[in-house]
């Protein structure tokens, strides 16, 4: 199965490291021009370098800022060959430096911070690209959730599990709303992958026994890599997935 994206305009959020960087590099290597977004300017510059300056453009952006999101998408569309974004990957997310705490200790600001990046930002991004996709009657939106959105979070962070579950609900709702314009909306739910500083800290905090328990609960008895997540995204974004929408695929080594 050959998958290519020659001439496609792709937007990837949370692209400064981990899944986002791997996804951006995969699109760039297949002929797309990738617009990479993140609040981490240094990491974003490195992603652009790895993709190739002729293949990627970086934007320092907080996706929880609706006005900034719409302005950035307008800039991207202005320079796009077809005047619209072809593919949106909502990858930005995470726990914002938080750790699991009893529910009574979680502040309003901490709750909102996680929802802003994992759910609200994905909504703003989809809202911004949808009009252009509708005009062209074509588009792909792929959201990156988590196994936490289908079950419980290993971190114990209530807002993270809730926001990822909400993003899965948003995926299904938008698939039905946008399907009439030939726009597909799907979701990839990764298992635990050592992909960024946060997951490295989580892995170390488990200790040898906890790490082994995690591996024992995976059918393939090993952790995956960011490239495994990127591979599923490539399929959802390709023409091969033209009649697939509203779906959630777990990429977790088997549970």
**CA–CA separation, 210 and 174 (whole Å):** 38
Which of these, 106, 207, 228, lies nearest to 161 by C-alpha position?
Answer: 106
- Summarised one tens digit per residue, pLDDT across range 89-125 is 999 998 888 888 999 999 999 999 999 999 999 999 9
Given a cut of 90, whether residue 135 has pLDDT beyond it is: yes
Task: Answer yes or no: is 1 within a domain.
Answer: no
Sign of CA dihedral 31, 35, 39, 44: positive
Residues 6 or more apart from 13 whose CB is under 8 A from it?
20, 37, 38, 61, 63, 89, 90, 91, 92, 121, 122, 125
Q: The domain that contains 64 carries what CATH number?
A: 3.40.50.720
**CA–CA separation, 142 and 140 (whole Å):** 7
Quote the percentage of the chain above a pLDDT of 70. 100
**CA–CA separation, 229 and 250 (whole Å):** 9
Question: Looking at 160, 170, 183, 233, which residue is catalytic?
Answer: 160
The total number of structural domains in the chain stands at 1
Task: Answer yes or no: is 32 within a domain.
Answer: yes
**CA–CA separation, 251 and 253 (whole Å):** 6
Angle at 132 between CA 142 and CA 188, to 5 degrees: 0
The count of other CB atoms within 10 Å of the CB of residue 75 is 13
Task: Answer yes or no: is 2 within a domain.
Answer: no
Residue range of the domain that includes 246: 9-250
At 98 the pLDDT is: 85
Q: What is the mean pLDDT of residues 230-247?
A: 98
Q: Which residues pair with 251 in a beta bridge?
A: 190
Quote the percentage of the chain above a pLDDT of 90. 91
Task: Answer yes or no: is 109 within a domain.
Answer: yes
Task: Answer yes or no: is 64 within a domain.
Answer: yes
At 50 the pLDDT is: 98
Task: Answer yes or no: is 3 within a domain.
Answer: no
Strand 248-251 and strand 183-190: pairing? parallel
At 255 the pLDDT is: 82
**CA–CA separation, 39 and 17 (whole Å):** 11
Question: Which helix H or strand E contains 190, and what residues bound it?
Answer: strand 183-190
**CA–CA separation, 88 and 52 (whole Å):** 19
Task: Answer yes or no: is 192 within a domain.
Answer: yes
Please say if 59 is a catalytic residue.
Answer: no
| 3-state SS class at 39 | coil
Length of the chain: 255
Question: Which helix H or strand E contains 209, and what residues bound it?
Answer: helix 197-216
At 153 the pLDDT is: 86
Q: What is the mean pLDDT of residues 244-252?
A: 98
Phi, psi (rounded to 5 degrees) for 92: -55, 140
What does the CA dihedral 248, 252, 254, 255 come to, rounded to 10 degrees?
-90
Eight-class DSSP state of 16: S
- Summarised one tens digit per residue, pLDDT across range 147-191 is 999 998 888 899 999 999 999 999 999 999 999 999 999 999 999
Q: What is the mean pLDDT of residues 186-204?
A: 92
- Summarised one tens digit per residue, pLDDT across range 1-54 is 789 999 999 999 999 999 999 999 999 999 999 999 999 999 999 999 999 999
Residues 6 or more apart from 139 whose CB is under 8 A from it?
84, 85, 86, 87, 88, 129, 130, 132, 133, 178, 181, 182, 183, 184
Task: Answer yes or no: is 4 within a domain.
Answer: no
């Amino acid at each position: 199965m050959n998958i290519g994206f020659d001439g496609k305009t792709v937007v990837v959020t949370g692209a400064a490291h981990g899944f986002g960087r791997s996804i951006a590099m995969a699109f760039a290597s297949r002929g797309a021009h990738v617009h990479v977004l993140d609040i981490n300017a240094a990491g974003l510059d490195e992603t652009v370098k790895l993709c190739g300056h002729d293949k990627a453009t970086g934007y320092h952006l907080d996706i929880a800022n609706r006005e900034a999101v719409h302005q950035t998408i307008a800039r991207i569309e202005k320079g796009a060959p077809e005047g619209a974004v072809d593919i949106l990957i909502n990858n930005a997310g995470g726990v914002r430096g938080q750790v699991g705490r009893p529910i009574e200790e979680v502040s309003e600001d901490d709750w909102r911070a996680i929802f802003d990046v994992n759910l609200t930002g994905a909504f703003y991004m989809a809202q911004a690209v949808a009009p252009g996709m509708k005009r062209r009657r074509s588009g792909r939106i792929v959201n990156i959730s988590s196994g936490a959105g289908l079950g419980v979070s290993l971190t114990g962070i209530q807002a993270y599990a809730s926001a990822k579950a909400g993003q899965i609900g948003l995926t299904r709702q938008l698939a039905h709303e946008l399907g009439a314009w030939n726009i597909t909306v799907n979701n990839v739910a990764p298992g635990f992958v050592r992909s960024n500083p946060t997951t490295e800290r989580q892995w170390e905090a488990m200790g040898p026994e906890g790490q082994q328990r995690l591996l024992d609960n995976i059918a393939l008895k090993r952790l995956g890599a960011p490239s495994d997540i990127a591979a599923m995204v490539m399929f959802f974004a390709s023409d091969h997935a033209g009649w697939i929408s509203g779906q959630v695929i777990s990429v977790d080594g088997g549970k």
